Amino acid sequence: MLEQLLQWDADWFFIINNEWNNGFFNAVLPFLRNKLIWIPLYLFIFVFILINHTNKAVFILLFAGLTIFAADFTSSKIVKPQVERPRPCNNEEIKSSVVLLVHCGQGYSFTSSHATNHFALAIFLIITLQYKLSWLLLFWAGCISFSQVYVGVHYPLDILGGALLGALLGYILGKLCLRWTNSHAQQLKKME
């Protein structure tokens, strides 16, 4: 069963990394995974929270930071060292066939920290802000995650594992944030 799953993972990696290779994706996807490209979005979210959630903004932003820290720490410092899966671009058996569009990096592959972090933040924002454009946040996290496979640094299962881990952490911290902000709001009302 595990061998079959890993074979499926490798097959899909090569479909995405080799067969879907094209000029448009080659130009766009390496940039999508760069955190500096997303600064305008992060600033927009920051300002949006400050303007629209004035009473809760500090708590939401603190919990958002905690969510990203928890996601990155869990993926990078707990899961990756336990699993020790080499990246496809570092895997001696296949690296000559990998279309590598970015620097490979020396870290392990499972789970993808990009996927973990972005899905954690997306789910956290969906839960805490509760807006109908949630699909845009999931699309954003999905595009960044997909680009990790396309550029040759992660397998699809690394992305799936990272997305699930991130979604779980985002959900837990989002619910904690709501509980915290609601109890804080109730305490403020009692003091008035």
Which pLDDT score is estimated for 188? 52
Length of the chain: 192
Which residues, including other chains, have CB under 8 Å from residue 175's CB and lie 6 or more apart? 127
**Is the pLDDT higher at 132 or at 182?**
182
Residue 112 per-residue DSSP state: P
- pLDDT band (50, 70, 90) for residue 186: low
- Taking the CA of residue 79 as centre, how many other CA atoms within 13 Å lie in the half-sphere pointing to its CB? 19
Longest Cα–Cα distance of the chain, Å, equals 68
| Residue 180 or residue 155, greater confidence | 155
What is the average per-residue pLDDT within 100-115?
A: 92
Q: What is the pLDDT of residue 191?
A: 56
Nearest by Cα to 33 from 97, 118, 111, 91: 118
- Three-state DSSP at 182 gives helix
Element (H, E) at 70: helix 57-73
Map tokens 């699809």 to a residue.
156
pLDDT tens profile 42-97: 888 889 888 887 778 888 999 999 999 999 999 999 999 999 999 999 999 998 99
